[in-house]
Chains A and B, each alone.
Chain A
Amino acid sequence: MAPRTIEMQLQTPGLDAQGRVQMSPLGLQRIDRTADDLHAEHMLVNIGPQHPATHGVLRLVVELDGERVIRVIPHIGYLHSGFEKLGEYRHYNQIVPLTDRTDYLSPMANNVCLAMAAEKLMGIEITERCTVLRVIACEMSRIISHLVWLGTTGIDLGAMTPFLWSFQQRERIYNLQESWTGARLTTSLTRVGGLMADIPDSFEAGLRDFCRTFPKTLDEVDTMFTRNAIWAGRTQGVGVLTREEAINFSLSGPMLRASGVEWDLRKDKPYLGYQDYDFDVPVGEHGDIYDRYRIRLEEMYQSTRILEQALDKLAKLKGAPINVSDPRVILPPKSRAMSDMEAMIFHFKQVMEGVSAPAGEAYLGIENPKGELGYYFVSDGTAKPVRWRIRPPSLINLAALPKMCEGALLSDVIAINASVDIVMGEIDR
């Protein structure tokens, strides 16, 4: 393992470096643990499904030998809503609201992925302005999702203040989301072939202001965490996955990159014109919680960079259309549908019959904040998919949890679980 830039050793008062007790606090007598028969007995501890540290309705059954974890058995499904089944009964555009509710910490990125998967299936090329706006949606989602991760993980490890900072900044993105889509959480931003709405007038100034001031908060978090002895002690060398293990477990996103795999769909399989943006992809080397933290922190800086470039591009595309000019795909404006016979017919056909896709199938994966989110559509030529599969990054990343927790302490389980960045809406779907 390569040496760290930050080396530190933590020592608990009263213990020497090997963990042997040097003095008994409060005059307590040391109990000879080897003498009683408690030593050999394994304990079964149930964490969740209603537990603040499991980030939702996740249930972990932990077998313990003392404080050492023998194994962890996760139980999921408490939030199962049958989204994939529901999708088979809906038009492609009607599935967009379902995607808001899967990974509800980054709804706009999910909307974008759904529209792109449907467009790949139907062979639709979107407009340039729409591409830029979708990049903005994806990167705003990345920032708010990582901010939630940062805040909640900080709380799990005992740091309250960064939670307040990050949620304060997240609120600003939510206000922008609200001004754009009318909703803070259930954005339903995209439509097949375009977007629900263009950005409002004040949006660009608001986002520029955010990009200018937001990195200051990240700098503060950096000051608070990166060289913090408690933070480093709780995260360095905990929950380690090697490069080979990360690939073998099909991990994606920051979890994969923390283990030293240079893989980012934005760079390696570019979509939405990401190849034209200048940004860096942070890659870790130790595969532990600390590296995952460093990667997510750096990704927020990089997202801010992408947002600034996207705003520059947007300024050149003022007044350009956001939707494809195909009346079979995009609804006509309401005023035209009310006054023009042809527009009304297209409106009626689309609302009643939906946008039909040719028989076939398409898989499209995008780099979501939590990893590779993929939507797999199979169509039989009708307006409703035969099969809508969500490739849930949280679920696949969480599957590596038992491996990461082997031999860890019970308190590490909380930290490792937090580092996976799960959202149960997406895991259980």
Chain B
Amino acid sequence: MSPAPDVPALRAKFGTAVTRHAVIAGDDIVWIAADRAREALAWLKAEGYGYLVDITAVEYRDPELPLEVVWMLRDLGTARDLRVKVALDPKAPLAVDSVVDLWRGADWLEREVYDMFGVTFRGHPDLRRLLMWETYHEGHPLRKGFPLRGHFSRAEQTRQALAANPEAHYSMEELSIAEAYDDLPQEMRERLARGERGNV
């Protein structure tokens, strides 16, 4: 396998879609335009960065700064790392293309970013919340606008937890087997009936 391409090669291939390159604390970081991110990641994977280390997102305290989705890639042959970032406007709907078909490991990582930041990954086969429960509707906990202790008081959270229907924690796959559809809350049934997935 040829050695993983460096940033000039990425620039030569994708031109102005590579909006910025920086070396911070010894790590290579490139920013790529949101609409070409998937294409660039697929190219990088084919060119040697075959291992996906992590997917995450960053929202800055400064509301003027964009929210960033971060992919960390690695070439296992040469032990080179590359961090790819996409800047999104935190006030607009957040969406990027999914890379689950490239890396199966991206499945849960994308679900976690969706759960915690509300970034929708287009093309993800099963974009559900990962850590919070399906009917959780307080928002996305790692957004800066989300208070540290949550939107509701402890008493209200306890009340909601006690009133929740544990059967509602089944996913669509399980419901197709268990026929627990009738026990779901009305709001969730409406969402699922519209075929809507991954939007709260």
Contacts and interface: CB of A to CB of B under 8 A. Distances in A.
Interface of A: 42, 44, 61, 63, 71, 73, 75-77, 80, 82, 84-86, 89, 120-121, 123, 245, 247-251, 261, 263, 268-269, 360-363, 365, 372, 374, 376, 378, 380, 386-387, 389, 391, 395-396, 399-400, 403, 428-429
Interface of B: 24-27, 29, 50-54, 56, 58-62, 70, 72, 76, 79, 81, 83, 103-109, 112, 116, 129-133, 141-142, 146, 148, 169-171, 173-174, 177-178
B169 A75 contact: yes
Nearest 10 A/B pairs, CB to CB: A250-B105, A77-B131, A362-B25, A399-B108, A391-B54, A387-B58, A249-B105, A360-B24, A80-B131, A389-B56
Contacts of A89: 148
A71 B50 contact: no
Given A85-B142, A250-B52, A363-B27, A261 B132 contact: no
Contacts of B169: 75
A387 B131 contact: no
B58 to A, nearest CB: 5
Contact of A386 (B58, B104, B146, B171): B58
B83 to A, nearest CB: 7
Contact of B104 (A77, A249, A268): A249
Contact of A247 (B51, B109, B148): B51
Contacts of A362: 24-25, 27
Contacts of A387: 56, 58-59, 142
Contact of B130 (A73, A77, A247): A77
A376 B131 contact: no
A396 B108 contact: yes
Contact of A372 (B53, B56, B59, B146): B53
Given A247-B51, A250-B53, A77 B148 contact: no
B177 A44 contact: yes
Most buried by B among A71, A84, A250, A395: A250
B60 A386 contact: yes
A378 B105 contact: no
Given A61-B174, A245-B104, A361-B24, 12 more contacts: A63-B174, A73-B174, A80-B132, A120-B25, A247-B76, A250-B54, A363-B81, A380-B62, A386-B61, A391-B54, A399-B107, A400-B105
A389 B142 CA distance: 11
Contacts, number: 117
Given A361-B25, A391-B54, A399-B108, A76 B131 contact: yes
Contacts of B130: 76-77
A380 B58 CA distance: 12
Contact of B105 (A251, A269, A376): A251
B63 to A, nearest CB: 12
B88 to A, nearest CB: 15
A374 B131 contact: no
A182 B26 CA distance: 36
A389 B58 CA distance: 9
A400 B26 CA distance: 31
Contacts of B174: 44, 61, 63, 73
A361 B81 CA distance: 14
B101 to A, nearest CB: 11
Contacts of B170: 61
B79 A248 contact: no
A428 B132 CA distance: 9
Nearest to B126: A73
A248 B25 contact: no
A248 B52 CA distance: 8
Contacts of B141: 82, 85
Given A42-B177, A248-B105, A386-B60, A376 B148 contact: no
A408 B83 CA distance: 37
Nearest to B146: A85
Given A44-B178, A73-B171, A123 B148 contact: no
15 contacts: A42-B177, A44-B174, A63-B177, A86-B148, A263-B76, A360-B25, A362-B24, A365-B53, A374-B72, A378-B60, A380-B61, A387-B58, A387-B59, A387-B142, A428-B131
